[in-house]
Amino acid sequence: MSDTPSSRPARPPHEGIPPVDLPDDVRLDTRAVREGLPRSRWGENSEALFLTSSFVQPDAASAAARFGNEEEAFIYSRFANPTVAMFERRLAALEGTEACIGTGSGMGAILLTAMALLKAGDHVVCSQSVFGATLMLLGRDLAKFGVQTTFVPPCDLPAWRAAMRPTTRLLFTESPSNPLTEVCDLRALADIAHEGGALLAVDNCFCSPALQRPVEFGADLIIHSATKFLDGQGRVVAGAVCGPRQLLDTQFMPVMRSAGLTLSAFNAWVVLKGLETLSIRVLAQSQRALELAHWLQQHPQVLRVHHPGLPSHPQHALAMAQQAGHGGAVLSFEVRSLQAGGVAAARAAAFHVIDSTRVLSITANLGDTKTTITHPASTSHGRLTEDQRQAAGIVQGLVRVSVGLDDVRDVMADLDRGLSTLPH
Ligand SMILES: Cc1ncc(COP(=O)(O)O)c(C=O)c1O
């Protein structure tokens, strides 16, 4: 399989294929279950899974025209597939963007963004509280290719402004952050980016479009680890970038065609079906998380709780305005260590709480209908030095919970088993 070079930009081949026939004014919940491509000639009600690597062309002349981007058609599943296209259209509709490109993972979406927008000599400003692999990709891996990144505290707007350089092309953040749930002012960050001639990319994995649509606050690109809430049932690894059509077509698609960051049709189909229940899942999980956060806050063995829905959260008002009045389904809390012994005792206390659970899943994944629990300092942020972790507030006593659809009373009982038996 080789790509014929074309002087025209590499457009997604499904761009000219009509969308599913929906009235323009149907609402988001309806789009979440119906947006996509038209049904095939067989009239299936559930979207078809096109498990095919390539597409048969009617004749050699058509194949030439299609490879040259003169005619719209599916050619090869490395860069376009009808099931993937349905997922892309549905997610773009939910995020309120013109277009979307599915990728094999959330990190693939971030790498695609970097490869599409940056070259040697360019500069990125990034929140210091982003996912561990994102820190590594931007701070270590891209540095090898001459891209410099400055990391700043996510809520410190003067620090974002001060970090801007004439070569800054991209600002990158997550909101709320993992695991401390810090909430960034997205509108202010979009303004800083645009005044400096840069773009703002927001990793919207924690909220999903069910709670937060960063494009409404001026963000240019929305990144997803679809592995999280979009799938919602912990089945597949997947990702996506949402943004303006022109930008994705001209700068992202050429990289997509050559770099092989492809989302598989099967995984796209799983996430496509996940999107149908996204909003009811995320709202229910967010409500359970708030209940759990209030319960933890009054627990004598808990030092502090991080959840944007709590009035005590430092950016509570901003979170309510940006996240449709919801705090989200992820929280973290610091276990009160009953032993003297600093960092080691704090870690032992957190491990005790985690190991005392009988219902919760001990896994670093989040956004699942099953409630998950993890120790960020030794898992998602385990590659940082202890000093970096302390600076970022990822202390050893911290435990993160992603609240699922379990009965929240069972989650409380599971956590209380360890909290009420901490070693003295
Ligand atoms: C906020 C955030 N962004 C990106 C990623 C990376 O996603 P993936 O694991 O799908 O590559 C993760 C994964 O945990 C994440 O939590």
pLDDT, one tens digit per residue, over 89-126 is 999 999 999 999 999 999 999 999 999 999 999 999 99
Which tens digits make up the pLDDT trace of 62-72?
899 888 878 88
Ligand 1 atom with minimal separation from the 178 CA? 1
pLDDT value, residue 339? 62
Topology of domain 279-419, per CATH? Answer: Aspartate Aminotransferase, domain 1 (3.90.1150)
Give the whole-angstrom CA distance, residue 271 versus residue 78: 18
With b for 16 or more beta-carbon neighbours within 10 A and e for fewer, the 287-326 pattern comes to bbbbebbebbeebebbeebbbbbbeebebbebbbebbeeb
pLDDT score of 82 more than 80 = yes
Q: Tell me what the mean pLDDT of segment 63-87 comes to.
A: 90
* Nearest protein Cα to ligand 1, atom 13: 225
pLDDT value, residue 16? 72
Task: Please tell me which residue, 69 or 167, carries the higher pLDDT value.
Answer: 167
Taking Cα atoms as reference points, which of 355, 341, 340, 348 lies closest to residue 418? 355
- Is the CB of 271 inside a 6 Å radius of any atom of ligand 1? no
Task: Please tell me which residue, 9 or 228, carries the higher pLDDT value.
Answer: 228
Which tens digits make up the pLDDT trace of 262-302?
999 999 999 999 999 999 999 999 999 999 999 999 999 99
Q: How far is the CA of 18 from the centre of ligand 1 (A)?
A: 32
Taking Cα atoms as reference points, which of 104, 43, 111, 105 lies closest to residue 78? 104
Give the whole-angstrom CA distance, residue 126 versus residue 152: 6
Ligand 1 atom with minimal separation from the 238 CA? 10
pLDDT score of 220 more than 80 = yes
Strands 168-174 and 123-127: parallel
Mean pLDDT of the chain, nearest integer: 93
Q: What is the pTM of this model?
A: 0.94
pLDDT value, residue 26? 93
Q: Tell me what the mean pLDDT of segment 411-420 comes to.
A: 97
Architecture of domain 28-275: 3-Layer(aba) Sandwich (3.40)
Q: Report the first-to-last Cα separation within the chain, whole angstroms.
A: 65
Which tens digits make up the pLDDT trace of 328-359?
999 999 999 766 678 889 999 999 999 999 99
- Is the CB of 114 inside a 6 Å radius of any atom of ligand 1? no
* Nearest protein Cα to ligand 1, atom 15: 131
Which tens digits make up the pLDDT trace of 357-387?
999 999 999 999 999 999 999 998 887 787 7
Per the CB < 8 A criterion, the answer to whether 310 and 294 are in contact is yes
pLDDT value, residue 11? 56
Q: How far is the CA of 106 from the centre of ligand 1 (A)?
A: 5
Question: Nearest 5°: phi and psi at 185?
Answer: -85, 95
pLDDT score of 12 more than 70 = no
Spell out the residues 6+ positions from residue 256 whose beta carbon is closer than 8 angstroms to its own.
10, 79, 101, 103, 112, 262
* Residue in 205, 221, 330, 363 to alter for ligand 1 test, most ligand atoms within 8 A of Cβ: 205
Give the whole-angstrom CA distance, residue 211 versus residue 33: 17
Taking Cα atoms as reference points, which of 56, 101, 411 lies closest to residue 249? 101
Residue 342, CB-side half-sphere exposure with 13 Å CA sphere = 3
Taking Cα atoms as reference points, which of 231, 133, 25, 301 lies closest to residue 240? 231
- Of 101-115, 224-238, 307-321, 331-345, the poorest mean pLDDT is in 331-345
Ligand 1 atom with minimal separation from the 237 CA? 10
pLDDT value, residue 13? 58
Which tens digits make up the pLDDT trace of 188-212?
999 999 999 999 999 999 999 999 9
* Residue in 131, 206, 207 to alter for ligand 1 test, most ligand atoms within 8 A of Cβ: 131
* Nearest protein Cα to ligand 1, atom 14: 365
pLDDT score of 15 more than 90 = no
Q: How far is the CA of 138 from the centre of ligand 1 (A)?
A: 14
Which two structure tokens, joined as six digits, stand for 334? 């610091």
* Nearest protein Cα to ligand 1, atom 9: 106
Asked if the domains 28-275 and 279-419 are classified in one and the same CATH topology, the answer is no
Taking Cα atoms as reference points, which of 155, 181, 173 lies closest to residue 113? 173
Which two structure tokens, joined as six digits, stand for 38? 């038209």
Taking Cα atoms as reference points, which of 240, 181, 185 lies closest to residue 206? 181
| Domain layout of the chain by residue ranges | 28-275, 279-419
Q: Which residues pair with 302 in a beta bridge?
A: 335
Q: Tell me what the mean pLDDT of segment 67-82 comes to.
A: 88
Ligand 1 atom with minimal separation from the 380 CA? 14
Three-class secondary structure of residue 195 per DSSP: helix
* Nearest protein Cα to ligand 1, atom 7: 106
* Residue in 107, 110, 223 to alter for ligand 1 test, most ligand atoms within 8 A of Cβ: 107
pLDDT value, residue 2? 43
Three-class secondary structure of residue 25 per DSSP: coil
Taking Cα atoms as reference points, which of 317, 337, 336 lies closest to residue 327? 317
